[in-house]
Chain A
Amino acid sequence: KAGVTQTPRYLIKTRGQQVTLSCSPISGHRSVSWYQQTPGQGLQFLFEYFSETQRNKGNFPGRFSGRQFSNSRSEMNVSTLELGDSALYLCASSLALRRTGNEKLFFGSGTQLSVL
């Protein structure tokens, strides 16, 4: 079974540009979550999608948006990039994240975004 796939692995952008990151979840997984990892900040939750609907959103500005397609693949978009957006962006999938008791997240390798 293929794991969570994120593309691209590395991205370099300049301030003011926008970027789109892609995530393909494990087959059969319907929930996709996005996290931002920066040094010293751990994993900060961005948002979670289930069946093409955003179910939960973290405390990030509106420049960060996402969507999920009918095949559960997800994209994350950041507009008007700022230097502080430089981070590792991680996508994670799970069956349903409905607290079945044994739910866990499966992460991709991430997209390392550098904003110059």
Chain B
Amino acid sequence: DQQVKQNSPSLSVQEGRISILNCDYTNSMFDYFLWYKKYPAEGPTFLISISSIKDKNEDGRFTVFLNKSAKHLSLHIVPSQPGDSAVYFCAASASGGNQFYFGTGTSLTVIP
């Protein structure tokens, strides 16, 4: 049972434009969400996180939005750069839990 879903396996964006990656979850107990970036042959690296008490968190070119009522979060990258080309995973966890649930990933390609 996939509790965290990324329905777009891939996304292509022109350099300089906005990239929007989406993630949906089913478990209403999730209250902490993270985005990870993964290059081939490397482990995922942490990008940005958001707690359920917020609806937006920014870090430079990266912004994560959380819509709790829709159980939906999105990652905005502005402006997109070729170095952003990677697979992006969203992850979620619940208070008191010892496990993060990951989505299946979205492969982002930024075209120069």
Please give the residue numbers on chain A whose beta carbons come within 8 Å of chain B beta carbons, in ascending order. 4, 6, 31, 33, 35, 40-45, 48, 50, 55-56, 58, 90, 92, 97-99, 101-110, 112
A103 to B49, CA, bound (A): 9
**Interface centre among B6, B43, B94, B97, by most A CB within 10 Å?**
B43
A12 to B91, CA, bound (A): 30
Q: Chain B, interface size: which category?
A: 20 to 34
The majority secondary structure among interface residues of chain B is loop
B7 close to chain A: CB less than 8 A: no
Task: Decide if B89 touches A42 in the complex (CB within 8 Å).
Answer: yes
Task: Decide if A43 touches B34 in the complex (CB within 8 Å).
Answer: no
A48 to B93, CA, bound (A): 14
The 6 lowest CB-CB distance pairs between A and B, nearest first, are A107-B43, A42-B104, A43-B102, A56-B98, A55-B98, A109-B43
